């Protein structure tokens, strides 16, 4: 991170850092081996919250990504959202399950579920883009200020106060989708975090990421914004390539 000019602030814990391994085969088949992370004590959990609080005022966005470590209650992200808002900082939440649903009551500025996580949050299967739109609208009604839903190869859906937008991108060859969601969220936030322009940036970054090997992150030179199409005319009846059970 330091080589890229990014300041890192660590919080010491007694356990070992979680290690995840992703195997990418020549045909782009992925096998993920995710080890269990450390179990945080109540003191360590509070230390993390305090570390975020002390830096929140200088940030435009705080991005919370991934599942919660063992030892943290599902409401932990909700507390982080509340503290961030008290500091006047917007927060993006990329998680799932009880941690996601518990945080909705604090009004995260954007949540970024994939189709599976979206289906889990509303408790019903999603077979079409229209199903995904209804689910995203339901999560907004439950507190999320905007929903950036990744629908895999079918595109991305943004649902916010100004309306709903759908975007796709032309992809020549899929090499690896490792980190594509993270790249997409980064593209969305760096473009302002709202509106069709930010959605276009999200899709451009995600499309660039899947065309790179391994877990490489796209640079500005890798982006092809001309390959992205954004529309306010959401294709409600379009079937999802991979329906979410």
Q: Active-site residues: which are they?
A: 182
What is the end-to-end Cα distance of the chain in Å, rounded?
38
The backbone region for 27, taken as left when phi is positive above 0, alpha when psi lies in -120 to 50, beta otherwise, is alpha
Q: Enumerate residues 6+ apart whose C-beta is below 8 A from 232.
A: 163, 164, 165, 166, 196
SS3 for the chain is CHHHCCCCCCCCCCCCCCCEEEEECCCCCEEEEECCCCECCHHHHHHHHHHHHHHHCCCCEEEEECCCCECCCCCHHHHHHHHHHHCCCEEEEECCHHHHHHHHHHCCCEECCEHHHHHHHHCCCEEEHHHHHHHHHHHHHCCCCCEEEECHHHCEEEEECCEEEEEEECCCCCCCCCCHHHHHHHHHHHCCCCHHHHHHHHHHHHHHHHCCCCCCCCCHHHCCHHHEEEECCCCCCCEEEEEEC
Cβ count near 232 (within 10 Å): 10
């Amino acid at each position: 991170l330091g080589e890229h000019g990014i300041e890192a602030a660590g919080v010491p814990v007694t356990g070992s850092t979680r290690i995840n391994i992703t195997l990418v085969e020549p045909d782009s088949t992925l096998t993920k081996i995710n080890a269990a992370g450390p179990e945080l004590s109540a003191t360590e959990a509070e230390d993390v919250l305090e570390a975020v609080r002390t830096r929140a005022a200088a940030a435009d966005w705080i991005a919370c990504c991934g599942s919660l470590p063992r030892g943290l209650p599902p409401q932990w992200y909700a507390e982080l959202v509340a503290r961030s808002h008290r500091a006047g900082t917007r927060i993006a939440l990329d998680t799932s399950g009880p941690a996601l649903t518990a945080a909705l009551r604090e009004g995260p500025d954007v949540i970024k579920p994939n189709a599976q996580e979206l289906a889990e949050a509303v408790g019903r299967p999603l077979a079409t883009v229209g199903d995904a739109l209804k689910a995203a609208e339901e999560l907004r009604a439950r507190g999320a200020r905007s929903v950036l839903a990744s629908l895999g190869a079918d595109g991305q859906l943004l649902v916010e106060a100004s309306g709903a937008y759908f975007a796709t991108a032309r992809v020549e060859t899929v090499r690896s989708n490792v980190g594509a969601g993270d790249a997409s969220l980064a593209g969305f936030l760096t473009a302002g975090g709202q509106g069709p322009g930010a959605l276009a940036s999200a899709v451009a970054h995600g499309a660039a990421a899947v065309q790179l090997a391994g877990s490489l992150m796209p640079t500005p030179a890798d982006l092809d914004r001309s390959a992205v199409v954004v529309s306010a005319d959401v294709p409600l009846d379009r079937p999802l390539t991979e329906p979410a059970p």
